[in-house]
Amino acid sequence: MELKLPLTKEEIRSLRAGDVVTLTGTIYTARDAAHKRLCGMIEAGEPLPFSLEGAILYYCGPCPAPEGAVIGSCGPTTSSRMDAYAPILYAHGASGAIGKGRIGTDVKAAMRKFGGVYLLATGGAGALLAKCVKSAEVVAFPELGAEAVRRLEVVDLPLIVGVDTTGEDVYDRARPL
Amino acid sequence: MSIREVSAASLSQAVYALFLKACVVPCRDVLDALEHARQQESGPAAEVLRQLAENAKIAEETRLPSCQDTGMAIVYLDIGRDVHITGNVTEAVNDGVRRAYRDGYFRKSVLSALDRVNTGDNTPAILHERIVEGDRIHIWAMPKGFGSENMSAVGMLKPSDGVEGVCNFIVECARKAGPNPCPPVVLGVGIGGSFEYAAYLAKRALLREVGSKNRDARLAELETVLRERINALGYGPMGLGGRNYCLAVHIDEYPTHLASLPVAVSFCCHALRHADCEI
pLDDT digits (tens, 9 = 90+) for A59-93: 999 999 999 999 999 999 999 999 999 999 999 99
Region of residue A170 (left: phi > 0; alpha: psi -120 to 50; beta: else): alpha
Q: Which residue of B has its CA nearest to A77?
A: B147
pLDDT at B173 over 80: yes
Is residue B178 over pLDDT 70? yes
Domain boundaries, chain B: 4-23+66-144, 147-273
**What number is the average pLDDT over the span B97-125?**
96
ipTM of the complex: 0.92
The total of structural domains in chain A comes to 1
Residue A171 lies in a domain: no
Say which of A35, A100, A108, A150 is annotated catalytic.
Answer: A35
Contact B279, B6 (CB under 8 A): yes
Q: What is the pLDDT of residue B166?
A: 98
Best mutation target, B64, B72, B114, B180, to test chain A (most A CBs within 10 A)? B64
The rounded distance, in Å, linking the Cα atoms of B40 and B61 is 27
Largest CA distance in chain B: 63
Do the domain assignments include residue A43?
A: yes
pLDDT digits (tens, 9 = 90+) for B185-206: 999 999 999 999 999 999 999 9
Per-residue pLDDT tens over the stretch B61-85: 999 999 999 999 999 999 999 999 9
> What span, in angstroms and rounded, lies between the C-alpha atoms of B59 and B24?
6
**Sign (positive or negative) of CA dihedral A136, A142, A148, A149:** negative
Nearest CA in chain A to B233: A176
| A61 interfacial to chain B (CB closer than 8 Å) | yes
**Does A104 contact chain B (CB < 8 Å)?**
no
A174 lies in some domain:
no
Asked if B178 and A102 come within 8 Å (Cβ–Cβ), the reply is: yes
Own/partner contacts of B108-115, CB < 8 Å, gap of 24 or more, are: B108/A145, B108/A146, B109/A61, B109/A146, B109/B69, B109/B70, B109/B71, B109/B72, B109/B146, B110/B72
Position B248 scores a pLDDT of 97
Q: Could you say which DSSP state residue B156 is in?
A: E
Q: Per the CB < 8 Å rule, is A170 touching B48? A: no
Q: What is the DSSP string of A78-132?
A: BGGGGTTTHHHHHHTT--EEEEBS---HHHHHHHHHHT-EEEEPPTT-HHHHHTT
The tens digit of pLDDT for each residue in A20-72 reads: 999 999 999 999 999 999 999 999 999 999 999 999 999 999 999 999 999 99
Question: Which residues lie below 8 Å from residue B84, measured CB to CB, with a gap of 6+?
Answer: B3, B4, B5, B6
The question of whether A92 is a catalytic residue gets the answer no
CATH number at residue A37: 3.20.130.10
pLDDT of residue B211: 87
Contact A80 B70 (CB under 8 A): no
| Residues in chain B within 8 Å Cβ distance of A127 | 55-56, 58-59, 62, 64-66
Residue A159: which domain range?
A: 2-166
Domain assignment present for residue A161? The answer is: yes
- The arithmetic mean of pLDDT across residues A80-107, rounded, is 96
Q: How much is the mean pLDDT over chain A?
A: 95
| Residue B1 pLDDT greater than 70, yes or no | no
Query: With an 8 Å Cβ cutoff, are B64 and A69 in contact?
Result: yes
Of the candidates B48, B51, B106, the beta carbon closest to that of A63 is on B106
In angstroms, the Cα distances linking A75 to A61, A86, B17, B59, B147 are 8, 19, 24, 13, 12
Predicted confidence (pLDDT) per residue in A126-160, tens digit: 999 999 999 999 999 999 989 999 999 999 999 99
